[in-house]
């Protein structure tokens, strides 16, 4: 067994989140070992957080003396995947932080930094719901709405490295204002906080009858997307309608993007995706109804849960290293 593990290559997968830092050793075959996590404490600023990241990675590297070929970091964007600079992260409050260089200078191991949603898409392609698919879309529904595009087996970055922002597909230029500054982006309807906003609008403005307040003991300030999921699971008509409408917005977005990118399948990831069929069924039915050019396109729930970014980061680190050795440009 020792002999076998000595021959296996390992990468460190790292997930740099606004709340938690998470690291693990991942083998080239996708085995995950030595998981660690710490609070990010983003308020202490980039230098302190980077010190913490280095410390956490060193802890992982110590584990088992395994041969680590490279380190992949899934980070919030916008970022430049070529230089590994975090251009601006509202979550971390970072501007122009050269993360890749800081880590490589301290750890002497090649580091790949890429967008967390793109890393999740790659993780799902490597070991999750997208196994065997060389072209796929992955939508990550959480506090924001992230997107990943796998094109011919690799992450598609576009001209400036910012491709994949499916959450900023504009559904209605006169719609609600989005965090990106535009109006009516998908994110401004289906991120977890916006699912809550639509529900509260329906309750407070439109006086819709619903049992949703019971799920928060009458205190609607505490309402989260999870409570609305619970109410929909219990057949509350308003909560079910909110999920139906969420499926419509996502289905409409996918119907616009699928004819352009021609993916084999679509994966729905992130905390809101844990609603399962309550969300997936309306997405599928609206997509099938709206899109005529190509169907059926399977819409699947992500399989890696929280670990998509972490595992994807390690997978990209392996893949990029392979590309470097074969002198192929970019990923
Ligand atoms: Zn936007």
Cα 13 to Cα 252: distance, rounded to the nearest angstrom: 34
Please tell me the distance between residue 269's alpha carbon and the centre of ligand 1 in angstroms. 19
Contact 84, 78 (CB under 8 A): no
Please tell me the distance between residue 187's alpha carbon and the centre of ligand 1 in angstroms. 6
Please tell me the distance between residue 190's alpha carbon and the centre of ligand 1 in angstroms. 11
Confidence of residue 64 (pLDDT cuts 50, 70, 90): low
Average pLDDT over residues 203-207: 89
Please tell me the distance between residue 60's alpha carbon and the centre of ligand 1 in angstroms. 36
Residue 322 has pLDDT above 70, yes or no: no
Query: At a CB cut-off of 8 Å and minimum separation 6, what does 167 contact?
Result: 139, 144, 145, 146, 147, 185, 186, 187, 191
Q: What is the pLDDT of residue 34?
A: 85
Please tell me the distance between residue 168's alpha carbon and the centre of ligand 1 in angstroms. 4
pLDDT tens digits for range 186-201: 999 999 999 999 999 9
Q: What is the pLDDT of residue 2?
A: 42
pLDDT exceeding 70 applies to what percent of the chain?
94
Please tell me the distance between residue 164's alpha carbon and the centre of ligand 1 in angstroms. 12
pLDDT tens digits for range 208-220: 889 999 999 999 9
Please tell me the distance between residue 320's alpha carbon and the centre of ligand 1 in angstroms. 30
Average pLDDT over residues 205-210: 88
Residue 49 has pLDDT above 90, yes or no: yes
Please tell me the distance between residue 140's alpha carbon and the centre of ligand 1 in angstroms. 14
Please tell me the distance between residue 261's alpha carbon and the centre of ligand 1 in angstroms. 20
Please tell me the distance between residue 7's alpha carbon and the centre of ligand 1 in angstroms. 46
Q: What is the pLDDT of residue 3?
A: 44
Residue 330 has pLDDT above 80, yes or no: no
The answer to pTM > 0.95 is no
Please tell me the distance between residue 309's alpha carbon and the centre of ligand 1 in angstroms. 22
Confidence of residue 8 (pLDDT cuts 50, 70, 90): confident
Please tell me the distance between residue 191's alpha carbon and the centre of ligand 1 in angstroms. 11
Q: What is the pLDDT of residue 67?
A: 81
Please tell me the distance between residue 179's alpha carbon and the centre of ligand 1 in angstroms. 6
Q: What is the pLDDT of residue 65?
A: 59
Q: What is the pLDDT of residue 202?
A: 95
Which single residue is written with the structure tokens 């790292």? 14
Contact 11, 32 (CB under 8 A): no
Please tell me the distance between residue 249's alpha carbon and the centre of ligand 1 in angstroms. 14
pLDDT tens digits for range 151-186: 999 999 999 998 999 999 999 999 999 988 999 999
Average pLDDT over residues 315-327: 67
Out of 5-19, 132-146, 266-280, 287-301, least confident range = 5-19
Cα 68 to Cα 70: distance, rounded to the nearest angstrom: 6
Residue 46 has pLDDT above 90, yes or no: yes
pLDDT tens digits for range 232-283: 999 999 999 999 999 999 999 999 999 999 999 999 999 999 999 999 999 9
Cα 160 to Cα 162: distance, rounded to the nearest angstrom: 6
Choose between 162 and 312: higher pLDDT: 312
List strands edge to edge, sheet with 154-155: 154-155, 145-151, 136-141, 265-269, 299-301
Tokens read off for 254: 């996918």
pLDDT tens digits for range 71-113: 999 999 889 999 999 998 888 899 999 999 999 999 999 999 9
Q: What is the pLDDT of residue 324?
A: 39
Say how many residues make up the chain.
331
Residue 321 has pLDDT above 80, yes or no: no
Average pLDDT over residues 48-52: 97
């Amino acid at each position: 067994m020792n002999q076998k593990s000595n021959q296996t290559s390992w990468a460190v997968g790292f997930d740099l989140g606004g709340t938690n830092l998470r690291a693990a050793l991942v083998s080239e075959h996708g085995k995950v070992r030595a998981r660690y996590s710490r609070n990010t404490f983003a308020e202490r600023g980039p230098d302190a957080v980077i010190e913490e990241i280095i410390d956490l990675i060193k802890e992982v590297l110590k584990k088992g003396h395994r041969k680590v070929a490279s380190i992949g970091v899934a980070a919030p964007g916008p970022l430049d995947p070529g230089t590994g600079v975090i251009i601006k992260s509202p979550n971390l409050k970072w501007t122009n932080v050269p993360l890749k260089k800081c880590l490589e200078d301290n750890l002497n191991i090649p580091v790949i930094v890429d967008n967390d949603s793109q890393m999740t898409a790659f993780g799902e392609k490597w070991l999750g719901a997208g196994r065997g698919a060389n072209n796929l879309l992955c939508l990550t529904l959480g506090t924001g709405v992230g997107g990943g595009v796998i094109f011919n087996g690799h992450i598609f970055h576009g001209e400036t490295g910012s491709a994949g922002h499916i959450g900023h597909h504009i559904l209605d230029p006169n719609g609600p204002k989005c965090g990106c500054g535009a109006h009516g982006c998908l994110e401004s309807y289906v991120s977890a906080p916006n699912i809550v906003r639509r529900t509260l609008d329906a309750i407070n403005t439109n006086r819709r009858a619903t049992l949703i307040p019971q799920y928060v003991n009458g205190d609607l300030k505490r309402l989260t997307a999870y409570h609305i999921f619970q109410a929909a699971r219990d057949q509350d008509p308003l909560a079910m309608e909110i999920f139906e409408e969420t499926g419509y917005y996502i289905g409409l977005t996918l119907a616009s993007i699928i004819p352009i990118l021609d993916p084999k399948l679509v994966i729905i990831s992130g905390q809101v995706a844990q609603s399962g069929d309550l969300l997936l069924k309306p997405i599928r039915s609206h997509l099938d109804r709206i899109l005529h050019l190509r169907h059926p396109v399977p819409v699947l729930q992500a399989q890696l849960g929280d670990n998509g970014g972490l595992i994807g980061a390690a997978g990209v680190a392996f893949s990029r290293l392979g590309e470097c050795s074969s002198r192929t440009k970019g990923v």
